[in-house]
Structure formats: C-alpha cells, structure tokens
Structure 1
Amino acid sequence: MSRSLLRPLPRPGATRTLLCLSFCGGGTASFRPWAEALPPDVELVLYCYPGREGRYTVPFAADWNALIADALEAVRTVAAERPYLLLGHSMGAWVAFDLTCRLEAGAGAPPRALIASGADSPVRWAEKRRETPTPRDTDDELLTWMSTVGQLSDVVLAEPELRSMAVEVFRADLLVSDGYRYREGVTVRTPLQVLYGADDDLDAPAARWRPLATGEFRADELPGGHFYTPPVWARLPECIAALHPAPAGGHRSSA
C-alpha cells in the first residue's frame, strides 16, 4: 500500500470507495471521522499530499503538474480495487477536477461521481491568484486567514513550532496551487456535485461550476462557512448524493 493513501476504517468487503483530497495546507486528520458517517458498503480512503503526516520526509510537490502526477498514481491504486467517488475540499476540489479531466481523457478509470466542496469554480483561477491568501502573504497574514476560516485547532495555535509547520505546509500548497491553469472549454462527463457554505466567501459557486459539467449536476448550499458548521463537517458524507438514494441531507439544491 502506498504511504500516500490512508484508510481510517478498513473495509475490505466494501463495494465502493470514497477517495478524499484535502484543502490547501491540510492533511488527512480532518477527514478521518468521516469513516463513521459512511454507509457500511463504502470505504473511506484519504490521499495525503507530499510533505506532511506519514509523508513528512517526502519533498513538497514542485508544481501543480507534479502534484497531479503524484495524486494520479494514488487514484489509479484505488480505482484498481473497486468503483470510487472522488471528493476534494477547497484546493482539493480543483485537484479532483483536474484529475477527473485527465482520467476521462484516458489516464485511468474515472470516478463514478465528482464532489467539489468549498471551492470557487476553476474558471476563476486567474482571479484567485490575486485574492487572499497568496504565497506572497506574510506568515502572520496566513495564520490569520487559516484561523479565521477554522483551519487551525487551538492546539496548533498555542504552540509556536506547530504554527510554524502549519504555515510552511500552507505556503507550499499555495505555491503549487498558484500554478494551476484552467483550460477554456474543459468539462467533465462524470456526475458533478458542488457543496458550499452559505457564509463562505465564494463567487456564485453553483452558477460558475455548472458549465463545467456536461453530465449530471447538482449544487447544495450547507450551513456555515468554508468548513461549514462542525456538525455538518463531521458528517459531510451524508450530503453526498451519489452515496444515498434520497436528496443529499435535505439541504437546498440548485442547478
């Protein structure tokens, strides 16, 4: 098993996999509790970016294409086992979208569903490079942003060494994501669901993601900000339409 993949609750008899990609500066810890919120036939698998957690000694990805190449190898490992769904949060949503585009173009087996959570549409890549946070921000500015959106725990904020490590990882991911370029007209056939917080600072996510899907599409507004409310985040898989026959979580949907 690749060290880039973590299975918080192994389910060898599962018939489906939910593969998750983290936000900028994140690891797998925030996603691990989701294993308990999944149907019993679904296994949670988490992809760990280079340079953190179990891959601490692995150098950060040099650029966007290097990160995608690393993630693609992990996705192929998962796809070889059983059908899978691909979920990315924040930066992870753009990684998941780019991966799905490449998989549909012949790089491997595409996911059965793509879930983009807490992210502006990739069509806004140029604007996002000029918006906070950026890799050019100071350490204090990056810490303030991460604290404001709820990305850092009180334990990390209270420990200077942990704060320094958090900023290092965050800045490395910002540098990588700064190299993303959306290619005009690129779309996905894979069913696409967009999740976004009612109080998040996103630019019309439902409307801007919609043109990128040539297949099934839905968008669900959830309570809270960038990481929703704690109860919603803790059980976010319950909002994934492809995992449940009923409408996702009973939240308002728009197309």
Structure 2
Amino acid sequence: MSPHTDDPSSRDAWLRRYSAVSPTAEATLVCLPHAGGAPTFFRDWPGLLSPALDLVSVCYPGRQDRFHERCVTDMAEMAEEVAAAVAPLADRPLAVFGHSMGAAVGYEVARLLRARHGIRLAHLFVSGMVPPHRIPVGTRHLEGDAALAADILEQGGTDARMLADDELRAFVMPAIRADYQLMETYPRHAGDEVLDTPITAYYGRQDADVTAPVMREWGRYTDTPADTRSFDGGHFYLQEAARTLAADVEGRLLASVRGTAAGGPALLSPR
C-alpha cells in the first residue's frame, strides 16, 4: 500500500477544481489526463458543462505544484492513490473520464472503487486508448529524451516549443518517462474484470493507434450498456471537439445518473 493513501492532505493533492461547486450538481465527473499531461488539460471543461456536473481533474505526482514529488511508475500504485483520493467524492454519483493513459488508469480506478470502497461508478468514459487486453508491453521508456519527445510530438498533444527548449524539456521529461513506464509495464489481468457500470469509448477517426473494431472491444469490460463515438481528428481530437464531446459526456452521464436514481443506489454493500 502506498504510504500516502490514508493521508487526507495527500489525497487532496491529487484533485483540482477550476470552478465552484454548484449546489444543484447532480454528479461529479473526475477527469484523468494523458501521459505527460496535467490537470489543466481540462481547465476549460467547466465552462462547457452545465451546473448539473461538478468537474474535478486529477494531478499526478511529478508535475505542476507536485513537481517535487516522486513520479508513479506502477499502475497498481497509481490506481490505488487515485481511487483513495476520489472515493470521498461519492456523496453524489461519481463518473470518470480518462484520455489515453488516463483511460487505462480510469478502468483500474473503477475496479478498485468497487472492490475496496464499495462504490459503483455511474459511468466510465474512456478516450483514445485501446482496452486493457490490447495494451502492449514496451521499452520506449528506456530510450533517450529525443525519442520520447518525438513520440509525444507525433501524437500532437504537446507544444513543440516546450520540447524543443532544452531547459523546459528537462523539466517535463521525468513525468513523461514515468508515464510511459507505467503504461509499458501495465500488468495483464488473468481475467480482465467486468464492471457493472456503463462504458462509453471515444476516439479520433484519424488516430493511428486505435480503430473502431478495437474500441468496441471495451464492451467486454462491462455487463451494462457500452457504446463508442468517433470524432474527426487524431489522438488529441478532443482539443478541437471539446464542446461537442463535453455535451455528449454530460448527456450520457446525466442519463446514467437519473437511471441509477430510479433503479437503485450507486453505493454497493460492503464485501
């Protein structure tokens, strides 16, 4: 168990809000950034959502005001920390949106929330990431900074000027390398646990790393409804499609929440 899991102040360090919580909020949406990403990636989302949703973004160690902290390179540790941080938010229905690496972390967090905290997510949104059984083992995290920077730039999600500047690149590369290691050493599950929460998978139609048939395989990870939706664009399609994507997420989440309210609680009995 991570030494920080039971420390409330440490849990708070994981969460960021960029708007006040509305008293009429019906659900909380937790957003998990991509590899090398920061919570500010979702800074504009509160303005795209109605007051019915409270948006919280996760800050991984090793970036922004957590730069001094050790980066997490193990998926189990990352999921454990995030699950512990967001579990107290389950006083209202809780959903997770994860992009790229954040999608894989989101699935693991959903598993832990159910198994350890008795919390059933109202909805899991995965974006730009193949399902867990399709994630390959890799060694790119062992390569030099130039190779990692080139891979990030090819995906289109990082300002080229930041990685081109030696000083700035040295600042961000430790977190990027740690995230690559986390994903490339992600352990395979013996039976890939099936969740009891709806899953929606989003992707860019020009993303070379995903295909429609593969994204539909996320459906095997839930025994409730699963769906996919594509947008024009590459791996970071959501930068251009933010408004449409946020509206789709909100519509699906509120439908799930209102269905949950009619059909039963989102908290599970202790196991």
TM-score, with structure 2 as normaliser: 0.82
Residue 138 of structure 1 corresponds to 144
Q: Deviations over 1:172-205 (max 9, x none)?
A: 1111222322322411110100001101121433
Say which of 154, 173, 179 aligns to 1:173: 179
Choose the corresponding residue for 1:214, options 223, 248, 252. Answer: 223
Match of 1:39 in 2: 50
Deviations 1:17-42 (A, max 9, x none): 11001111111121111111111211
Whole-angstrom CA distance in 2 between matches of 1:111 and 1:141 = 37
Unaligned 5+ runs, structure 2: 1-8, 256-271
1:163 to 154, 166, 169: 169
8 Å CA contact retained: 2:216, 2:227: no
Partner AA of 1:147 in structure 2: L
Which amino acid is the alignment partner of residue 129 of structure 1? V
1:236, CA displacement in angstroms?
2.7
Q: Deviations over 1:66-120 (max 9, x none)?
A: 21121111111222x3212111111110111011122222434122000001101
Alignment of 1:199-238 (within 5 A): 199-200=206-207, 201-203=209-211, 204-228=213-237, 230-233=239-242, 236-238=245-247
Instruction: Give the % identical residues.
Output: 29
Q: AA paired with 1:218?
A: D
Match of 1:78 among 82, 85, 89: 89
> Is 1:99 matched with 2:109?
yes
Q: Would the aligned equivalents of 2:22 and 2:51 in 1 still touch at CA under 8 Å?
A: no
Give the corresponding residue for 1:9: 19
1:50 to 40, 61, 86: 61
Give the whole-Å Cα distance in 1 for the aligned partners of 2:254 and 2:92. Answer: 18
Q: 3-state DSSP class of the match of 2:133?
A: helix
Greater shift, 1-10 or 103-112, is seen at 103-112
Q: Any idea what SS the aligned residue of 2:194 has?
A: coil
CA distance in 1, matches of 2:171, 2:149: 11
C-alpha contact (below 8 Å) 2:204/2:235 kept by paired residues: yes
Distance in 2, matches of 1:92 and 1:230, equals 15
Q: Moved runs in structure 1, 4+ residues, more than 6 A?
A: none
| Alignment partner, residue 27 of structure 1 | 38
**What residue is the counterpart of 1:250 in the other structure?**
none
Letter in 1 for 2:134: R
Q: Which amino acid aligns with 1:230?
A: Q
Query: For each residue in 1:117-143, what CA deviation from the matched residue of structure 2 results, as whole angstroms up to 9, or x when unmatched?
Result: 110110113xx223xx82123211111
- Root-mean-square deviation (CA, aligned residues, Å) is 2.0
Alignment gaps of 5+ in structure 1: 246-255
Match of 1:60, SS state, is coil
What secondary structure is seen at the aligned counterpart in 2 of 1:11?
coil
